[in-house]
Chains A and B, each alone.
Chain A
Amino acid sequence: MSKHTFSIGGVHPHDNKISRECPIEQLPLAPSVYLSVAQHIGAPSVPVVAVGDKVKVGQVIAEPGGFVGAFIHSSVSGTVKSIGPRADLAGRLSTHIEIAVEGDEWLEGIDTSDTLVTAIPEDPKAIIDKIRLGGVVGLGGATFPTHVKLSPPPGSKCERVIINGCECEPYLTSDFRTLLEKGEQVVVGAALLKKAMGDVPCTIAIEENKPEAIAHIREVIAKLGYSGIDVMVMKMMYPQGGEKQLIDAVMHRQVGSGALPISVGAVVQNVATALAVYDAVQKNKPIVDNSVTVTGECFPKQANLLVRVGTPLRYIIDYLGGVPEEAAKIISGGPMMGRAVANLDAATVKGTGALLFLTEKQTRRAPETHCIRCGKCADACPMGLEPFLLNKLSKAKDWDACEANAAQDCIECGCCLYSCPAQIPLLDNIRVGKGFVLSAIRARAAAAKAAAEAAKK
């Protein structure tokens, strides 16, 4: 079996998938859910319900604020209690729609049965439209609206759909469990995405540490008899689940700086997104829930939970027995790229994939020492950057040099920081430089646009 991986950089942290044997379990409904109107990349959605309205599961409660935007559906049935600012995980305020749960009544037309619908609609446009109406966004973490990704700009053509089942972040197991338990649905979802992009070949990429999932998906593909969908076994390597890395690994093509994957003919969708696509197209079921891994060595009850969008984190944790005493840090997402949770009263969003509990010993940073010029960071960088240099330039506030050395291409995967023997906060400093470079690039683009418009007049 040949194993594929991306060509430069990468690290190999221990995968720690301690919750891999936990089947996906339905979390009981919380007393209230809080649905953010800004849980995707793009313009925040506009609420279309008013306080006091009765809503059902799957009912649209907010409409997209622009082309790059997504519908938001009520994840529970009940009454809209309030619409107002509420703090998210990082403490930042955004508009949330609070719904008090009463029963569990689904909107008519949503198929909640378990029967597998394998017939693929003929019209790609109809598929994409259903995906749009289902509020589907990329569930790998970036939450980019899926229908936008599936509408390539004129002049570019998709040559391959890649379903990302790498789950390269340590600890996370929700995609693995989804592949095992809902493999049929994921494969049908992959077939739908393939159809939507004009019947291009489709690859489901799974890392070698999930042999059960690989065998199961192969079996399902054979059983369902779809042609043009294959499984690719990937070598374990972080950050293989990164879009650009995965395209490199599967198609041996490099996405240029600032370019989109479609520029090399690739569309990458996560396993959970494929499942959401299946639900939206075949079952008329919008995204109302997603699976969340709750894990960590210090957490007594590992679990993979099916959580309704907007459930407060505190409710999930209390259901599993509360925050363990040794836990010093709670991370939303994986240990490499996840964000620390500053506010447990925050609600889950469509992109919430995991809650990870780490102990003081696991999280405490060792004191920074001097760079010994070992070059490990440059070896580890999957984007081919020179983190030691960017670190220095960023500290010197030389933003032009940061741009010349492609700080804007950093994907913030943390490989440099992980590999640094001197514990230098490389990523933190590079992130500063990246922020300034990106704002400079945006300012230039805006100025160019304004100048072009002025020239027209």
Chain B
Amino acid sequence: MSLYTDKVMDHFEHPRNVGVIEDADGIGEVGNPLCGDIMKMYLKIEDDRITDIKFKTFGCGSAIATSSMATELIKGKTLDEALDLTNKAVVEALDGLPARKIHCSVLAEDAIKAALVDYYTKSGREMPESLVGFQPHED
């Protein structure tokens, strides 16, 4: 079996939603250069719905693929639905990841949560319970 599934390779080769949103309502960045991966997510939110999402990622093939898949899974979804996104759902949507690459999916989930925290903070809205005290995982 190859290291990566066809879905991972598809999202690596053709990543969806790459870029920045200049007037983003929420921005989240996790990871660091010493660990070899950084993900940055930009959200546009209207009427409690994620109307647009973009990402930039520094990292390996699975870091790029998990970023891409995570943005696809929550694009157009409500804030509540986005809050429910788990790294497990990202892994399943990619038909699996090698064990030592699971941390990439955790990073993708964390990047989205960090962007949502930024949105709730900036907009002055009440932080949902699941985001209170949010800390990204140690990479």
| A and B from one complex | no
B-side residues, CB < 8 A to A, are none
A-side residues, CB < 8 A to B, are none
